[in-house]
């Protein structure tokens, strides 16, 4: 799901981000073609197929495929979605982007949108497709080979192979995009992986491995196709063999139903809802090249995306994994670094909590304590012996040694929906920012440097991060902007600067 661009705004601008729906996880219910509306704006990009499937925790995965039938490459291909109940009443809207970008004439791209369906949800339609002229040509100067394809002892499917860079210059973020089709050609699933190098980069002529792993609960399929792309412009005239296809090696897939109505029931293997995992992976999330900046005690920052990725800016280069490349379910709802910066916790809006790196101490989460509410942010105590989790509904829960309580929006009757929380340097209070743009301080969180509302800054806050001396704070917005207050003046770039997709879902600063 995505947020439309709000344009250049604020004194420290983080330009609006394009959104890319990412890896689907969870257990298969039933993949069905979705009802599709074709009466949308004229475009060189056309819709080929759609489907949907619901996992064991109730998330709906909206999948499809588009094709560029024009004569020029297209970019920022945006798919607009309407969500309906069984009687055709519109319940909600959303949008996502094609996975392949730019898309050359004749090429196909999958799309994916993971949603928490509104009550009564039955099916979706595509109301429109929008696209723009590509500002650079697609980079397909790669030779991609699948060298092994197998199912392991726990039923996970592995597609292993190599990619060779045929460009005359280095290619960054070399990505293999997979589309999985049913026996009638409907796109039923999509996924992607990067080559196994630092930042997914390949120097000219270099070959590196990749491995795509699909859970045993992923939708069955008949054929898959893949395409290799890079964020770097093509160079030279090397072989362009970055595409290919393969067949399912699992059980013969059940034919995709021809019915146009979706099933809202699910029979599936359940997914654990109370887990933390220390993650190590050879498939990195891309970390941007630092942008030069004046000296400051804030040396960088991490920004997780609602789609499951994690990006580091400045000196935030240590990477321990994210939800996407570990196929963990859920929508990120914040990030908190451990005291030694050797790991981080990421809570999800569904109530789970995942630990990466040395974020191994676990004190519980909303799910296994049966606490109500939707997590909206997390902050660790100074010794890392506990954490606070604030919910969208205004409540605050402490775990481990996070026992000091200074109030919350609910018991003070403050308006708004929390979007993040930050503990003061001495742990004697905390700030809670709301999606409506206001900021509230509790305990010794009395220093005030402004908020979006009283400065007239647009956007909905998506988190808050204090500087280390408490003399300022950063507030990212869901629309992609970033605002600094007080001494939060260091700026190291943003997702748009580097062409990274996603919508901010929190922020953590590094020294």
Q: Which of 61-75, 131-145, 291-305 has the lowest mean pLDDT?
A: 291-305
pLDDT at 240: 67
pLDDT at 43: 66
Question: In the predicted model, is pLDDT for residue 44 greater than 80?
Answer: yes
DSSP 216-246: TTSPP-SEEEEEEE-SSPP-S----B-EEEE
Question: In the predicted model, is pLDDT for residue 505 greater than 90?
Answer: yes
pLDDT tens-digit series, residues 443-496: 999 999 998 888 888 888 999 999 999 999 999 988 878 889 999 989 887 766
| Band of pLDDT at residue 239, cut at 50, 70 and 90 | low
Q: For the chain, what is the mean pLDDT?
A: 79
| Band of pLDDT at residue 422, cut at 50, 70 and 90 | very high
| Band of pLDDT at residue 502, cut at 50, 70 and 90 | confident
pLDDT at 31: 44
CA distance 80 to 93: 8
- State mean pLDDT over 342-346: 95
- State mean pLDDT over 173-196: 92
CA distance 135 to 123: 35
pLDDT tens-digit series, residues 261-299: 222 222 222 212 222 222 222 223 333 333 333 334 789
When the candidates are 2.60.40.10, 3.40.50.1110, 2.120.10.30, 3.40.50.970, the CATH number that belongs to 142-247 is: 2.60.40.10
pLDDT at 1: 35
DSSP 278-291: ----SSPPP-PPPP
pLDDT at 455: 84
Architecture of 300-510 per CATH?
6 Propeller (2.120)
Distances (CA, A) of 53 to 111, 125, 328: 14, 14, 17
pLDDT at 496: 66
More confident residue, 181 or 43: 181
Cβ atoms within 10 Å, residue 458: 13
Using the structure block, give the residue that is written with the tokens 């887990």.
Answer: 275
More confident residue, 216 or 354: 354
Residue ranges of domains in the chain: 142-247, 300-510
More confident residue, 8 or 356: 356
Question: In the predicted model, is pLDDT for residue 29 greater than 60?
Answer: no
Q: Which of 27-36, 307-316, 347-356, 405-414 has the lowest mean pLDDT?
A: 27-36
């Amino acid at each position: 799901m995505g947020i439309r661009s709000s344009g250049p705004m604020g004194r420290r601008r983080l330009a609006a981000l394009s959104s890319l729906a990412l890896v689907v996880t969870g257990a298969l219910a039933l993949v069905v073609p979705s009802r599709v509306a074709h009466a949308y704006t004229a475009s060189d990009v056309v819709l080929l197929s759609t489907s949907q499937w619901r996992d064991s925790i109730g998330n709906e995965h909206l999948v499809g495929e588009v094709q560029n039938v024009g004569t020029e490459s297209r970019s920022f291909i945006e798919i607009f979605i309407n969500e309906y109940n069984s009687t055709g009443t519109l319940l909600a809207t959303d949008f996502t982007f094609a996975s392949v970008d730019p898309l050359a004439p004749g090429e196909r791209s999958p799309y994916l949108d993971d949603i928490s369906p509104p009550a009564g949800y039955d099916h979706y339609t595509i109301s429109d497709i929008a696209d723009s002229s590509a500002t650079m040509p697609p980079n397909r100067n790669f030779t991609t080979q699948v060298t092994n394809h197998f199912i392991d002892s726990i039923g996970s499917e592995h597609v292993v192979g190599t990619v060779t860079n045929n460009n005359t210059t280095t290619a960054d973020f070399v990505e293999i995009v997979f589309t999985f089709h049913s026996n009638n050609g409907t796109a039923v699933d999509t996924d992607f992986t990067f080559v196994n190098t630092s930042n997914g980069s390949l120097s000219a002529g270099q070959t590196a491995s990749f491995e795509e792993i699909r859970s045993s609960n992923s939708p069955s399929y008949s054929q898959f196709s893949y395409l290799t792309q890079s964020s770097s412009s093509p160079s030279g005239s090397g072989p362009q063999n970055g595409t290919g296809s393969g067949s399912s090696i699992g059980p013969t897939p059940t034919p995709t139903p021809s019915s146009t109505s979706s099933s809202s029931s699910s029979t599936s293997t359940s997914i654990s809802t109370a887990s933390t995992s220390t993650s190590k992976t050879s498939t990195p999330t891309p970390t941007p090249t630092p942008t030069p900046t004046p000296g400051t005690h804030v040396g960088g920052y991490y920004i997780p995306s609602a789609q499951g990725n994690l990006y580091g800016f400045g000196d935030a280069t240590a990477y321990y994994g994210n939800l996407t490349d570990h196929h963990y379910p859920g929508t990120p709802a914040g990030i908190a670094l451990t005291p030694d910066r050797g790991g981080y916790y990421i809570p999800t809006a569904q109530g789970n909590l995942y630990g990466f790196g040395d974020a191994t101490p676990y004190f519980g989460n909303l799910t296994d304590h049966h606490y109500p509410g939707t997590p909206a942010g997390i902050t660790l105590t100074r010794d890392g012996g506990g954490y606070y989790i604030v919910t969208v509904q205004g409540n605050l829960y402490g775990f481990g040694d996070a026992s000091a309580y200074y109030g919350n929006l609910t018991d003070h009757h403050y308006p708004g929906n929390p979007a993040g929380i930050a503990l003061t340097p001495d742990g004697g209070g905390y700030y809670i920012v709301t999606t409506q743009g206001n900021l509230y301080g509790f305990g010794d969180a009395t220093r005030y440097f402004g908020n979006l509302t009283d400065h007239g800054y647009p956007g909905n806050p998506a988190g808050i991060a204090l500087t280390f001396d408490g003399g300022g704070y950063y507030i990212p917005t869901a629309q992609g902007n970033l605002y600094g207050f007080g001494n939060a003046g260091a700026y190291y770039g943003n997702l748009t600067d580097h062409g990274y997709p996603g919508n901010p879902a929190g922020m953590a600063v590094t020294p």
